[in-house]
Amino acid sequence: MNVLPVTDVLEHLRTALTESDEVVLEAPPGAGKTTLVPLELLQHPLLVGQKILMLEPRRLAARMAAGRLASQLGESVGDTVGYRVRMDSKVGPQTRLEVVTEGILTRMLQDDPSLDGYGLVIFDEFHERSLDADFGLALTLQGRELFRDEQPLKLLLMSATLDQRVIDQLLPQAPLVSSKGRSYPVDIRYLGAQGRNQRLEEWVAQAVMQALDEESGSLLVFLPGQREIRNVARNLSNQIETGVVLTPLYGDLSIQEQQRAIQPASEGQRKVVLATNIAETSLTIEGIRVVIDAGLSREARLDPASGMTRLHTCKVSRAASIQRAGRAGRMEPGSCYRLWSESQQAQLSQHATPEIMSTDLTSLALQLARWGVEDTAELRWLNPPPDAALSQARDLLIRLGALQSVDNSLQLTSAGDVMARLPLHPRLAHLLLVGWEKGCGELACDIAALLSERDPLTGDADFERRLSWLRGDIPCSSSQKSMLQRIRQLSQQYRRSCKKILSNVSPQPIKLSTAELSALLIAQAYPDRIASRRRAGAGDYQLSGGRAVRLAETDSLIKHDWLAVANCGGTQGQTTDKVFLATPLPEKLFDTALSGLLQQQKVVEWDRQQGRMCCELQRRIGVLVISRDELKEIPLPEKNQILINLIRKQGLQILPWNDEIERWRQRVMFLHSSQPLDGPWPDLSDKCLLKGLEQWLSPYLDPVNHINHFSRLDLFAILQALLEWPLPNELGKLAPPRLKLPSGHTAAINYSEFPPVLAVKLQEMFGSVDTPVIGYKVALKIHLLSPARRPLAVTQDLASFWANSYRDVQKDMKGRYPKHPWPDNPREAIPSSGVKRKNRT
């Protein structure tokens, strides 16, 4: 057995597992966690006669780990050490150590929550915090609690960079075993300022050429995705010298191509491996001593606004940058070129966001239902799934027929149980189930295989082209042959799964063309992505889920009114997505094979264009209306509520107001604002009236069916009914519309402001000492006017005005209006409304 740094802590680890049911092992890259620890623990006394499960985050890592472990024992994979990954396994009767991908654990637990026969589950590279790892840990903990009292299942979490605070919350009793790892130094070089004005691919290529010139050995280059890998390879192909081999490394490559990237360079050659984050952990690529890190990764994140998963290019976490740099020091001292600055390194987040917090949770929701859990609080989580994303996932599962509501709880349907056992996303599992039921299972497997992998063709979005390519009707380029082979193999594997899991389902074939069946199956898998064209001749469509999408103007599908969209996407913040894969959807299917997706709904709504109420029976899928039939009878409660909503939206001005009503309302509002606490006068402000429309206006809306019908409402009577008896009589006393003046005339009171205003000619107030008071002892604001009815003074204290300000007014006005009286003692003068009378002799 190799002597690796983790050897120093093996005894401590064995003791910890003896004394505790869960242990955390932290060790840097190259310490030997994956290659040594599982084999050593096979000999643990508590695990004699039991198996070990070790989880790896990726299929490539699982296969490679199993191969290395088996080779150390001098055996073939499938003997003592085996593996299980999606659609592939090598496990024999003597296998005691199974290396599996994380999703496999969930399926094993669903079949046997106790994991009978297994003594230890190892979560390798747990720092990546994949959804499957988090969920698998939660199920393992509950399964152990329920079924493993006598012989507890041991858990070991291994990682190079753990967020210990999170682990402590879930497993506070778990001892931490730490290994220092191999001490090969890595020289970190920051290139942050050198490529600010360059495209990423050009900058990376420049860094590769610099490293080839400055360093020896092979290079591992971290890039966010396949597009960048292809572009960098194209950029470098004309620059690198003979003897330097370029090899890509990402998940969609065939096993042979991935193996070629991992193998050491031939003697006399150097290798430049262009990789995604698949090379961050678990994989040791021989001969790598230089890492070039673009500092980016591509993550699938759920867009809550659209319910779609989008790929986001994100900065790596500080932990991930350490992991990547560590690749350069696995075998000897190395160097790491970082395409950012040292100050930016300090600003990186400490750890990546756990996948459960940002991804599509449809598969999780389905597996939770199969486990029998609706309230996620029943399980112990490192981070519980977000409620909003889980609710969206469950809504989709209801549309797919996997869940149903029974007595206010969600339960798994028989179809949902079948879908949960198929090793695909629930959408594609539903596609296979429908295809099997309709007698087109092989076509369904081909479609599911194509949709499970990266799109093999470029150009227009027509999915039928992909099927023709898969059948061999369209030539396959040499660069696509491995992908073609992989998709065909995947289709065959789906066929085998269907025969095993759907054996009890009796097919009932329907007579449709292959193209119509394809459209049917895609629509069943993506009922929220059935698309209707918005306007003839254009590429703008609306999805049944409400999202706007667009076809390229040159796309061959643009002539079709209806599409079944399999793939669409865009960037966050955009209101319209681009259609990547779709097929024409014959409208006749809505009356036959797709009728189960339709909902019949009586819709009462306001037609804004015609300004009237309309009531119709609609057949719709999501937000899309397939057909509509007008109904003559409109249910009054629904109609009146729509009118109420219309008034709230457009405002009270839609009602037949006039000056008389407004003046009356102002008088009531004056009393409301001046009354004592808990007084009887109602609040008739716009805000209050709008809030209470259901109470005071709705009973009178029955005759209103058109915008013009609002004028028929007796709004004055409706509002007056809001005054309880005896308030109508009190209104005239407390807030009279007019006030009798000392001159004998009357003047209107303006209640549009507070306090109310009495505008009157100054001469008509002679002889009045006290300011008029109305309502609840509110003094009027008196605007004293000139004979020409221009303002002379404003006062709420007549006595003070006569005693003080009047003298100035008298001096100014007496000469200007000599025919009008300006007495020296206005408090005792006779009020007058006209000019002075001449004395007759």
Q: Are residues 39 and 131 in the same domain?
A: yes
Q: How confident is the model at residue 157 (pLDDT cuts 50, 70, 90)?
A: very high
User: What is the tens place of the pLDDT at every residue in 407-417?
Assistant: 889 999 999 99
Kind and range of the H or E run holding 99: strand 97-101
**192 C-beta neighbours (distance < 10 Å), count:** 15
CB distance 285 to 258 below 8 Å: no
pLDDT (mean) for 612-632:
88
Locate 578 and state its tokens.
């681009």
Beta bridge partners of 88: 85
**Angle, CA 371 vertex, CA 368 and CA 375 arms, to 5°:** 50
**715 C-beta neighbours (distance < 10 Å), count:** 18
Q: Are residues 147 and 18 in the same domain?
A: yes
Does 608 reside within a domain? no
CB distance 615 to 603 below 8 Å: yes
**CA-to-CA distance for 63 and 57, rounded, in angstroms?**
11
Residue whose token pair is 């809306």? 701
Q: Are residues 218 and 337 in the same domain?
A: yes
Question: Among candidates 158, 130, 118, 109, which has minimal Cα distance to 59?
Answer: 130
Q: Residue 755: what pLDDT?
A: 93
Please state, in angstroms and as integers, the Cα–Cα distance from residue 676 to each residue in 672, 732, 750, 752, following that order.
9, 18, 22, 20
Strands 270-275 and 244-249: parallel
Q: Largest Cα–Cα distance in the chain?
A: 146
Strands 270-275 and 296-303: unpaired
User: What is the tens place of the pLDDT at every residue in 220-247?
Assistant: 999 998 889 999 999 998 888 888 899 9
Kind and range of the H or E run holding 91: none
Does 431 reside within a domain? no
CA dihedral sign of residues 788, 793, 799, 803: negative
Helix axes 426-437, 514-525, angle to 10 degrees: 140
What phi, psi does 244 have (nearest 5°)? -110, 120
CATH code of the domain in which 61 resides = 3.40.50.300
Q: How far apart are the first and last CA of the chain?
A: 143
Residue 841 clears pLDDT 50, i.e. is over it: no
**CA-to-CA distance for 317 and 300, rounded, in angstroms?**
16
Does 633 reside within a domain? no
In sequence order, what DSSP letters do the residues of 241-273 get, joined into one string? PTTEEEEEE-TTS-HHHHHHHHSPPPTT-EEEE
Beta bridge partners of 814: none
**CA-to-CA distance for 32 and 250, rounded, in angstroms?**
23
What phi, psi does 398 have (nearest 5°)? -65, -40
Q: 755 preceded by cis ω (within 30°)?
A: yes
* 750-761 residues labelled b (16+ CB within 10 A) or e (exposed): ebeeebbbbbbb
Q: Is 589 helix (H, G, I), strand (E, B) or coil?
A: helix
Q: Which residues contact 118 (CB under 8 A, 6 or more apart)?
A: 50, 51, 52, 53, 153
Task: Write out the residue range of the structural domain in which residue 111 sits.
Answer: 5-178
**CA-to-CA distance for 761 and 771, rounded, in angstroms?**
15
Q: Residue 769: what pLDDT?
A: 86
Of 315-329, 385-399, 426-440, the least confident:
315-329
Q: How confident is the model at residue 839 (pLDDT cuts 50, 70, 90)?
A: very low
User: What is the tens place of the pLDDT at every residue in 275-302?
Assistant: 988 777 666 777 889 999 999 988 877 7
Q: Are residues 39 and 108 in the same domain?
A: yes
Strand runs (DSSP E) across 304-420, as ranges?
308-315, 334-338, 403-406, 409-412
Q: Residue 182: what pLDDT?
A: 65
Q: Residue 473: what pLDDT?
A: 92
Q: In what order do the strands lie in the sheet with 781-785?
A: 738-740, 746-750, 757-761, 781-785, 791-795
Q: Are residues 353 and 255 in the same domain?
A: yes
Residue 303 clears pLDDT 80, i.e. is over it: no
Question: Among candidates 234, 194, 182, 210, which has minimal Cα distance to 292?
Answer: 210
Does 829 reside within a domain? no
Q: Residue 305: what pLDDT?
A: 59
Residue 681 clears pLDDT 50, i.e. is over it: yes
User: What is the tens place of the pLDDT at every residue in 54-80?
Assistant: 999 888 889 889 999 999 999 999 999
CB distance 393 to 476 below 8 Å: no
Q: Residue 351: what pLDDT?
A: 84
Does 371 reside within a domain? no
Q: Is 56 helix (H, G, I), strand (E, B) or coil?
A: strand
Asked which of 129, 145, 178 is the last residue of a domain, the reply is 178
Please state, in angstroms and as integers, the Cα–Cα distance from residue 684 to each residue in 94, 263, 582, 695, 719, following that order.
85, 82, 56, 13, 9
Residue 306 clears pLDDT 70, i.e. is over it: no
Q: Residue 159: what pLDDT?
A: 85
Does 82 reside within a domain? yes
Cβ-in-10-Å burial (0-12, 13-18, 19+) of 253 comes to buried
Q: Residue 840: what pLDDT?
A: 40
In sequence order, what DSSP letters do the residues of 554-572 get, joined into one string? T-GGGG-SEEEEEEEE--T
Q: Residue 193: what pLDDT?
A: 67
What phi, psi does 138 have (nearest 5°)? -65, -45
Q: Are residues 701 and 763 in the same domain?
A: no
Q: Residue 181: what pLDDT?
A: 66
Of 36-40, 166-170, 413-417, 803-807, the least confident:
166-170
Percent of the chain with pLDDT over 70: 96
Strands 548-550 and 540-543: antiparallel
Does 462 reside within a domain? yes
CB distance 540 to 550 below 8 Å: yes
Question: Among candidates 362, 508, 530, which has minimal Cα distance to 430?
Answer: 362
Q: Are residues 340 and 212 in the same domain?
A: yes
**CA-to-CA distance for 575 and 311, rounded, in angstroms?**
16
Asked which of 144, 161, 178 is the last residue of a domain, the reply is 178
Q: 787 preceded by cis ω (within 30°)?
A: no
Kind and range of the H or E run holding 392: helix 387-399
**CA-to-CA distance for 87 and 491, rounded, in angstroms?**
10
Q: Are residues 317 and 449 in the same domain?
A: no
Q: Is 145 helix (H, G, I), strand (E, B) or coil?
A: helix
**CA-to-CA distance for 308 and 99, rounded, in angstroms?**
32
Q: Residue 1: what pLDDT?
A: 45
**44 C-beta neighbours (distance < 10 Å), count:** 17
Q: Residue 282: what pLDDT?
A: 61
**CA-to-CA distance for 820 and 763, rounded, in angstroms?**
8
User: What is the tens place of the pLDDT at every residue in 564-592?
Assistant: 999 998 766 677 889 999 999 999 999 99
Q: Are residues 791 and 808 in the same domain?
A: yes
701: amino acid identity, one letter: L
pLDDT (mean) for 514-535:
95
**CA-to-CA distance for 327 and 219, rounded, in angstroms?**
10
Locate 360 and state its tokens.
């599509």
In sequence order, what DSSP letters do the residues of 690-717 get, joined into one string? HHTHHHHTGGG-TT--BGGGGGGS-HHH
Locate 3 and state its tokens.
């002597």
Locate 387 and state its tokens.
């409620």
User: What is the tens place of the pLDDT at every residue in 92-134?
Assistant: 999 999 999 988 999 999 999 999 999 999 999 888 888 999 9
Does 450 reside within a domain? yes
Strands 288-293 and 334-338: parallel
Q: Are residues 326 and 197 in the same domain?
A: yes
326: amino acid identity, one letter: G
This prediction's pTM: 0.77
Question: Among candidates 42, 177, 178, which has minimal Cα distance to 98?
Answer: 42
Asked which of 131, 155, 178 is the last residue of a domain, the reply is 178
pLDDT (mean) for 774-797:
92
CB distance 426 to 366 below 8 Å: yes
Residue 605 clears pLDDT 50, i.e. is over it: yes
**314 C-beta neighbours (distance < 10 Å), count:** 17
C-alpha R_g of the chain = 40
Total domain count for the chain? 5
**CA-to-CA distance for 127 and 379, rounded, in angstroms?**
20
User: What is the tens place of the pLDDT at every residue in 351-402?
Assistant: 888 999 989 999 999 999 999 999 999 999 999 999 999 999 999 999 999 9
Return mean pLDDT, the chain: 89
Q: Residue 29: what pLDDT?
A: 73
What phi, psi does 366 have (nearest 5°)? -65, -45
Q: Residue 5: what pLDDT?
A: 82
Q: Residue 169: what pLDDT?
A: 83
Q: Are residues 550 and 499 in the same domain?
A: yes
Most confident of 234-243, 609-618, 692-701, 813-822: 692-701
Q: Are residues 18 and 137 in the same domain?
A: yes
Question: Among candidates 144, 148, 97, which has minimal Cα distance to 124?
Answer: 97
